[in-house]
Structure 1
Amino acid sequence: MATSSVSKGCFVFKPKDSKKRKTSVTADFFNKGKAVSENDRLRFSTYESLRQQMKEETEKLQDNLNAKIFDSLLAFIKKSHAQPHSKVNDWSYQMRCREIPTAALVLGVNVPDHEMTFQSLTDLLKQSLTPHVVCLQGKECTTVKQVLQKVLMHLMGSSVNDEEEDEDVHHSVDFSQRKVHCSMASLSGWYNATTQKSTSNSPTRKRKSSSLGQEQSPPIVIIFKDLESFLPKVLQDFIIISSNYIQQLPLVLVFGIATSPITIHRMLPHTVSSLLCIELFQSLSCTDHLATVIVKLVLTTKFPFKLSGKVLQVLISIFLYHDFSVRNFVKGFQLSLLEHFYSQPLSLLCCTLDEAKARVQNLTHDDCELIRQVPSIMGYVEDQDFEKQVKLLTNDQYLKDVVQKLLTGLHIYHTNYFPVLKCLHVFTSSLPKYPLGKQIRELYITCLEKNVWETEEYSSAFQLLGMMAKDELMCLLQKCIEVLKSSKQQRALTDTMQKLEEFLTKFQQPDNIASVEEVEEDEEHKTSPRKSLRKKTDLYQLQKTLMEMKKSKRSKKLSRFEVLRMEVLEFVDQLIRQYLLPPETQTFHEVVYFSAASTLRRHLNAAPRTALQTALSNPYYYLQNEVLKSEGGTITNTAPDICIVYKLHLECGRLINLYDWLQAFATVVSAAEEKDPDKMSNEQVDEVLHARFIRAVSELEFLGFIKPTKQKTDHVARLTWGGF
């Protein structure tokens, strides 16, 4: 076959392993090449415990979020092939029986999360409804024959024979396996034989109700994981074939849709879609799912590990601008946990408060020296008087006692922080244009990075709150009280909740009308400047009178509701300034907060072109071979062939002459092999260097640096410009 490539190549794509490979991290990973100490083992066990707890929490959360839609889907599948006796002769029921029951499951654009959802759905179906469940993917089913093969192989558990297969293929199959033809008739025969066999084994079930008879004939559920990836023609033919066997096979189709339900009608004409009885199922949006995950994993004191504002912003940016995958967000969170325990030796104190206090007493002198080098501890020492500074720097036991108090203060800080943050979100999430963000994650990032009360958005939010009506403000106060009740009660939060309840009680009382004297005095104050306008006056007196009227308008007396509303807002503002301080203000926060945003971004948001150019221009960066060290711009003759070819191609223009390129490559390589390039024979160049050169050029073409061109047959076109 003809090819436009510089050279032909063979590329191998390994299939997925049937068994998932599990990689385990050991305590050796944390010691960084040194001898494993007891603290390393303790740090590793703490990491493993936290990771397992977070994993169980996310799985539990996922099951709870999918429970509602899964229950509706199971109910639909159960009733899809039910045959009530009163409706057997009904014409409309007979028409519906000719249609294939189809569930359109709209999961959203977060495609990486779909695999976990379908796996949970498959397990649930097999446990509670039917063992006959098949999951199909578009990349594996490019023809109708492949679709039928996948369905029969998953259901029948035998090798599927096709009339077009060669005899060699027949011999490669074990004779113990039963071979059948790839057709729906074979599936129908197998299903009837299976159901009759199960019925004959339990004759007492024949006299039971029809609902139990449905259990003896479980439906066959075929799940199309990614409907948009299937070829429309393949999907149409399979539906037409299946509709002819719907009276013999209780088929149920499940369409996994990432975009919109209208996709079904775009892919299927009316003649085919009319063969389906479609019911729509809408899953929870990925943004709402993320908000729930953040509340359960981040905005809680259940897990001592925390993220800084920049790290959380990196994870959320990847979620919003790349994949909308909550699963990848959780993986990034777990990676942050691993990086924190790996890079921070004092992370062994990132545990519950009681465990941390016990571990502090077992710290060695070297651990105490590490504590003294923590930036926040250094600032804390500088703020103390001279005697305490000497004790903190010389007395290990005194330092341990102080660290225990600091850990207790950090725990109290988090216990008060999150309920107050949720209360602030309650007040600001319903404001017009959402000055502090609609989602609580936006408000949390702002509070982590700076003093939120110093921002313009905070000022505009409280200006809007100052114009809020009585009913709205009472509703917000009630929600805040519920938030504080659901949190772990501290002394400060209990007093705060009682104060909010007092405000709510005052709002529920009828407004007191101002006294008549105050009203008359106010009216007299308002009318007196106006009376002076009727008299003859000069320009100065007129300006003075207008200023008095403007001042009297500004100094209008507030009503009892307005005064009470102002008191509530002042109390909330004081609460925020007291408890929503950034984590950097807390001493010894480094032990629980992970702040290496650049490390996390390098791992999760990689730049492949930068990595390629770094590897090709400076191979020592990855290979760490001293021979490969070179000055900038020079070509090392001991570098790999592709690196030499890459650096040579940087010296060329848009079109590269292959012969000149080969001669330059031979010159550089011959210098490495201590050969005289002038004395080299053409045979040596053709047999050895030419093959190495073609292979390197082919690799550059595969990486996208060059391409063939029709302008000149002995030239290639360069696709990139400039080096790293």
Structure 2
Amino acid sequence: MATSSVSTGCFVFKPKDSKKRRKSVPADFFNKDNAISESDRWRFSTYESLWQQMKEETESLQDSLNEKIFDSLLTFIKNSHIQLDLKENDWSYRMRCSEIPTAAVVLGVNVPDHEMTFQRLSDLLKQSLTPHVVCLHGKECTTVKQVLQKVLMHLLGGTANDEDAEEEDVHHSTPLSQRKIHCSMASLSGWYKAISQTSVSGSPSKKRKSCVVGQEQAPPIVIIFKDLESFLPEVLQNFIIICSNYIQQLPLVLVFGIATSPITIHRMLPRAVCSLLCIELFQSLSCSDHLTTVIDKLVLTTKFPFKLSGRVLQVLTVIFLYHDFSVKNFVKGFQLSLLEHFYSQPLSFLCCTLDEANDRIQNLAHGECELIRQVPTFMRYVDSQDSENQIELLTNDQYLKDDVQKLLKDLHIYHKNYFPVLKCLHILTSSLPKYPLGKQIRELYIACLEKNIWETEEYSSAFQLLGMMANDELVCLLQKCIDVLKSSMQQKPLTDIMQKLEEFLSKFQKLDDIAVKMEDKEGDEDHKMSPEKSLQKRTDLYELQKTLMELKKSRRSKKLSRFEVLRMEVLEFMDKLVRQYLLPPETQPLHEVVYFSAASTIRRHLNAAPRTALQAALSKPYNYLKNEAVRSKEGAITNTAPDICIVYKLHLECGRLINLYDWLQAFVTVVTAAEGQDPDKMSNGQVDQVLHARFIRAVSELEFLGFIKPTKRKTDHVTRLTWGGF
């Protein structure tokens, strides 16, 4: 019987189909019908090419943002064991050789991004500095033995197939998984001594004197602790003490990945252990600044035609600010929005460059022209035309194609003018007190997408504060606006705006001391004949009242200075630009082609409610199983449902404390009724063992899901943790 399963087998012979099945391609999922049209292939290919461009842009951006800290880390690791200027009998030399070079890298609380950062750092180290790089996770290293195993596994396993190691010793040529090695630093020291002797000038007889030789002769061993806070303090302390005893033989370098604060090192390690480390601090770019740069490169640009609506961008931003601070997850959410747009919008194949869109429009079929006619903004555009154009747009496909090309071109021009003016408005308002229009440009952009920004109270208060700005501050802001317009793509409206701002800037610069003296001189002449002088003369009550009225009137009609007049002209000009170019996207025909607005879909995917989904699955299993046998009326308990669903619905009828015996009896009653058995039929008053086991398993699953928990208040009772059903 022990070997009966060897001779008993089940073999599957698939029949040979005369007609080979067509392999499904990813483009098939973009069409809900069986037939695949040319537009479906366009949608999928456009999505792939667009996302590839965005992915390359984000990767290059992340590399450029981390370039400074990576260069500093590489320099630190390279020079960590090079002490050519110190003598061996020097006290500082002996003290430095007894310390382990340690880089404390503060990356912030955006933990999901740390993996990508350390992976990039590991790749750079292996490419330019040393092949001996080990990355450790706290959950995998709960003991010192596990830490040593991970280190030896990465280092010795990576060189198991090297030709030099094979020639030197057969013991080193076998894979680590096929041989037993004593996990200790002595084994690592012997391995490193062997490979260093063979790598120095190609002569094994040349021994390495110390760990402070040149970089080409002794590449360091870098051990990266990706999540320092997750390591047990005792394990970390013991490992550091062991490493300090071998620092004269091994050029070890430790890299601590810190999410909170550098003080974490001193909280985890006592002073005696910290004295064994030579720590240097490295600070990465804040995740908020990183997100601002990503939004500027992916969203606030005309390089990519795909755009997010205000609500979708707000959902992604809220998840970033209130959940994980992860730029990586923000980019994933952006990718999901891109995929949902191309999947749900049939006209998304026009979300491409202007030249490609014009070529595709000319090849549109009649059904696709009808889809364009059903777009809400295009219907409003048709209603705004005269009767002749309306008839042509609704009946003539070629006339429709020509008009759609014009509308998409206008939408492209709208974006080219939108973002430079938006950045200029942000420059003017981002330094105001209390930030009425937001401190970050993403806040201003969301507000401009949702409604007319000039109709809000925040906009009015912002321009009131700008009306009190000093000369030098306003000149500095105007210069920044000119720089933004210069960096944008040159076209007719932007060049005119830039020239107008340069004129204002030159006028401000001409407000010199001569003009101020002329105003003072005119003010003195007016002061001589002012009503205040007439108050000093002797007069009657009527003349005094008349003089006071003239004085009050003159103060009300105070003459504005040349600077105030010019400042008012600048603000009026900027207000005109905002009203002209920062219109919401809903005002543009066919904006649905490039804008994704399904915020509820993104929120459901990225910010899911697991308890609601669990309750829905347990209350209505038909929605997931698609089996007619488990379909039931609202509130009824189906006896053919899975055991956990039956137990869940029975527990909804109980109070805070649930009697397990009563619960079991109710479960047996429901299940035996489904199987056509008598629920009262028991052997010696005991429940069938199979039913009892099924009940225990279902209750254990409910406990695992967090619906109940054991209690000590009553015997054979459990506590209910949730109230109500789905």
Q: Do Structure 1 and Structure 2 share a fold, with TM-score over 0.5? A: yes
1:628, 1:639 within 8 Å by CA — same for their partners in 2?
Answer: yes
Amino acid at match of 1:84: L
Give the drift of 1:33.
Answer: 3.9
**Cross-structure match for 2:101:** 101
CA distance in 1, matches of 2:442, 2:452: 16
CA distance in 1, matches of 2:176, 2:612: 54
Amino acid at match of 1:179: K
Judged with a 3 Å threshold, the aligned counterparts in structure 2 of structure 1 residues 158 and 343 are, in CA distance, closer, same or farther, namely closer
Query: Does structure 1 residue 574 correspond to structure 2 residue 576?
Result: yes
Root-mean-square deviation (CA), in Å? 2.5
Give the drift of 1:654.
Answer: 1.2
Amino acid at match of 2:259: A
One of 658, 661, 664 as aligned partner of 1:662 = 664
What SS does the aligned partner of 2:256 have?
strand
Amino acid at match of 2:632: S
**Cross-structure match for 2:560:** 558
Counterparts of 1:638-653 in structure 2 under 5 Å? Answer: 638-653=640-655
Give the drift of 1:200.
Answer: 5.2
Paired residues, number: 684
1:477, 1:500 within 8 Å by CA — same for their partners in 2?
Answer: yes
TM-superposition CA deviations, 1:210-260 (whole Å, max 9, x none): 998321110000000001111111111111111111111101000000000
TM-superposition CA deviations, 1:294-336 (whole Å, max 9, x none): 0000000000000000000000000000000000000000000
Give the drift of 1:619.
Answer: 1.3
Amino acid at match of 1:29: F
CA distance in 1, matches of 2:122, 2:549: 77
Query: Does structure 1 residue 76 correspond to structure 2 residue 81?
Result: no
Judged with a 3 Å threshold, the aligned counterparts in structure 2 of structure 1 residues 503 and 306 are, in CA distance, closer, same or farther, namely same
**Cross-structure match for 2:8:** none
Judged with a 3 Å threshold, the aligned counterparts in structure 2 of structure 1 residues 267 and 546 are, in CA distance, closer, same or farther, namely farther
What SS does the aligned partner of 1:581 have?
coil
Judged with a 3 Å threshold, the aligned counterparts in structure 2 of structure 1 residues 55 and 175 are, in CA distance, closer, same or farther, namely closer
**Cross-structure match for 1:27:** 27
TM-superposition CA deviations, 1:685-717 (whole Å, max 9, x none): 413322221111111111111111222222211
**Cross-structure match for 1:613:** 615
CA distance in 1, matches of 2:660, 2:626: 31
What SS does the aligned partner of 1:264 have?
helix
Give the drift of 1:35.
Answer: 1.5
CA distance in 2, matches of 1:696, 1:369: 54
What SS does the aligned partner of 2:701 have?
helix
Counterparts of 1:300-319 in structure 2 under 5 Å? Answer: 300-319=301-320
Amino acid at match of 1:637: N
CA distance in 2, matches of 1:620, 1:614: 10
My pick for the range that moved more, 516-525 or 258-267, is 516-525
Judged with a 3 Å threshold, the aligned counterparts in structure 2 of structure 1 residues 176 and 279 are, in CA distance, closer, same or farther, namely closer
Counterparts of 1:275-286 in structure 2 under 5 Å? Answer: 275-286=276-287
**Cross-structure match for 1:11:** none
Judged with a 3 Å threshold, the aligned counterparts in structure 2 of structure 1 residues 547 and 116 are, in CA distance, closer, same or farther, namely farther
Judged with a 3 Å threshold, the aligned counterparts in structure 2 of structure 1 residues 212 and 57 are, in CA distance, closer, same or farther, namely farther
Amino acid at match of 1:536: L
**Cross-structure match for 1:507:** 508
**Cross-structure match for 1:323:** 324
**Cross-structure match for 2:395:** 394
Judged with a 3 Å threshold, the aligned counterparts in structure 2 of structure 1 residues 528 and 448 are, in CA distance, closer, same or farther, namely farther
What SS does the aligned partner of 1:181 have?
coil
CA distance in 2, matches of 1:234, 1:546: 87
What SS does the aligned partner of 1:157 have?
helix
What SS does the aligned partner of 2:66 have?
helix
My pick for the range that moved more, 462-471 or 112-121, is 462-471
**Cross-structure match for 1:520:** 525
2:682, 2:688 within 8 Å by CA — same for their partners in 1?
Answer: no
TM-score normalized with structure 2 length: 0.90
Give the drift of 1:381.
Answer: 0.9
Judged with a 3 Å threshold, the aligned counterparts in structure 2 of structure 1 residues 616 and 414 are, in CA distance, closer, same or farther, namely same
CA distance in 2, matches of 1:43, 1:159: 46
CA distance in 2, matches of 1:625, 1:682: 37
Give the drift of 1:674.
Answer: 3.1
Judged with a 3 Å threshold, the aligned counterparts in structure 2 of structure 1 residues 204 and 368 are, in CA distance, closer, same or farther, namely farther
CA distance in 2, matches of 1:700, 1:676: 27
**Cross-structure match for 2:372:** 371
1:159, 1:179 within 8 Å by CA — same for their partners in 2?
Answer: no
CA distance in 1, matches of 2:539, 2:226: 83
Judged with a 3 Å threshold, the aligned counterparts in structure 2 of structure 1 residues 142 and 550 are, in CA distance, closer, same or farther, namely farther
TM-superposition CA deviations, 1:52-87 (whole Å, max 9, x none): 111100100011011100001111111110031554
* Percent identity of equivalent pairs: 79
Judged with a 3 Å threshold, the aligned counterparts in structure 2 of structure 1 residues 697 and 476 are, in CA distance, closer, same or farther, namely same
Judged with a 3 Å threshold, the aligned counterparts in structure 2 of structure 1 residues 723 and 547 are, in CA distance, closer, same or farther, namely farther
1:199, 1:216 within 8 Å by CA — same for their partners in 2?
Answer: yes
**Cross-structure match for 2:679:** 677
**Cross-structure match for 2:166:** none
Judged with a 3 Å threshold, the aligned counterparts in structure 2 of structure 1 residues 206 and 637 are, in CA distance, closer, same or farther, namely closer
Counterparts of 1:598-637 in structure 2 under 5 Å? Answer: 598-637=600-639
Amino acid at match of 1:450: K
2:392, 2:400 within 8 Å by CA — same for their partners in 1?
Answer: yes
**Cross-structure match for 1:138:** 138
**Cross-structure match for 1:476:** 477
Judged with a 3 Å threshold, the aligned counterparts in structure 2 of structure 1 residues 506 and 633 are, in CA distance, closer, same or farther, namely same
Query: Does structure 1 residue 356 correspond to structure 2 residue 357?
Result: yes
TM-score normalized with structure 1 length: 0.90
CA distance in 1, matches of 2:205, 2:503: 69
What SS does the aligned partner of 1:291 have?
helix
CA distance in 2, matches of 1:660, 1:55: 58
What SS does the aligned partner of 2:79 have?
helix
TM-superposition CA deviations, 1:636-679 (whole Å, max 9, x none): 22221111111111111111111211221122222322334245
What SS does the aligned partner of 2:47 have?
helix
TM-superposition CA deviations, 1:465-496 (whole Å, max 9, x none): 11111111111111111100000111000000
**Cross-structure match for 2:47:** 47
Judged with a 3 Å threshold, the aligned counterparts in structure 2 of structure 1 residues 90 and 494 are, in CA distance, closer, same or farther, namely same
Counterparts of 1:8-407 in structure 2 under 5 Å? Answer: 26-157=26-157, 177-199=178-200, 201=202, 213-407=214-408
Judged with a 3 Å threshold, the aligned counterparts in structure 2 of structure 1 residues 278 and 117 are, in CA distance, closer, same or farther, namely same
CA distance in 1, matches of 2:724, 2:244: 60
1:159, 1:180 within 8 Å by CA — same for their partners in 2?
Answer: no
What SS does the aligned partner of 1:213 have?
coil
Judged with a 3 Å threshold, the aligned counterparts in structure 2 of structure 1 residues 641 and 529 are, in CA distance, closer, same or farther, namely farther
**Cross-structure match for 2:4:** none
Structure 1: 5+ residue stretches without partners = 1-23, 161-172
Amino acid at match of 1:505: S
CA distance in 1, matches of 2:460, 2:177: 78
CA distance in 1, matches of 2:300, 2:43: 23
